[in-house]
């Protein structure tokens, strides 16, 4: 990969799509989803095992409940982010990100501006459709890949992040 100038400044603009927001929310909440399903399955298994159901029957009932719970939670993870995106006018506005050696600036029209230095960021995670930028205290925001004009801009972004954040 060709090295780009560190002084490069990227200006990215766009609107977050429903698909990008769902991926972002699911990624951020997947541990909760798995924890709830695991705890519920274990509870069902122990309760049926303590009853006269027997090991095999308890296992089958627990697996069935786990499957139903997983499907229900996945459907919930599709529905809730869609509603959040519909209700939150700021999320639906056109966003602009300015990324350079000093940090990242997020602008939402004339309504919001967030200036972050590289020291403010915990880490950045790349997903299939976006980059998730984490701040301390589990706060996060995303830069969808659809905001980039080319793969070269994505590469420049990765390089700026690797040089300044040292984590990716």
Q: What is the pLDDT of residues 43-64, one digit of tens each?
A: 877 777 777 767 777 777 778 8
| Domain ranges for the chain | 10-16+91-164, 19-89
Q: What average pLDDT does the chain have? A: 81
CB 40, CB 158: distance < 8 Å: no
Per-residue confidence (pLDDT) for residue 5, from 0 to 100: 46
The answer on pLDDT for 167 being more than 70 is no
Distance CA 29, CA 24 (A): 9
Distance CA 29, CA 73 (A): 11
Looking at domain 10-16+91-164, which CATH architecture does it have?
Roll (2.30)
The pTM is what? 0.68
Distance CA 99, CA 152 (A): 14
Model confidence band, residue 90 (pLDDT cutoffs 50, 70, 90): low
pLDDT, tens only, 95-153? 899 999 899 999 987 778 889 999 999 888 898 889 988 888 778 888 999 999 999 99
Residue 126, classed as helix, strand or coil, is: strand
């Amino acid at each position: 990969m060709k090295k780009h100038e560190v002084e490069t400044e990227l200006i990215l603009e766009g609107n977050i799509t429903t698909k990008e927001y769902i991926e972002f929310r699911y990624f951020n909440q997947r541990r909760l989803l798995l924890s709830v399903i695991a705890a519920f399955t274990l509870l069902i298994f122990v309760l049926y095992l303590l009853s006269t159901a027997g090991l095999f029957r308890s296992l089958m009932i627990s697996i069935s409940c786990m499957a139903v719970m997983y499907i229900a939670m996945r459907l919930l993870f599709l529905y809730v982010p869609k509603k959040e995106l519909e209700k939150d006018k700021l999320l639906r506005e056109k966003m602009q990100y300015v990324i350079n050696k000093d940090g990242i600036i997020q602008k939402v029209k004339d309504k919001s501006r967030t200036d972050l230095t590289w020291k403010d960021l915990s880490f950045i995670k790349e997903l299939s459709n976006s980059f998730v930028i984490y701040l301390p205290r589990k706060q996060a925001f995303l830069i969808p890949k659809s905001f980039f004009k080319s793969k070269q801009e994505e590469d420049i972004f990765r390089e700026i992040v690797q040089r300044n954040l040292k984590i990716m």
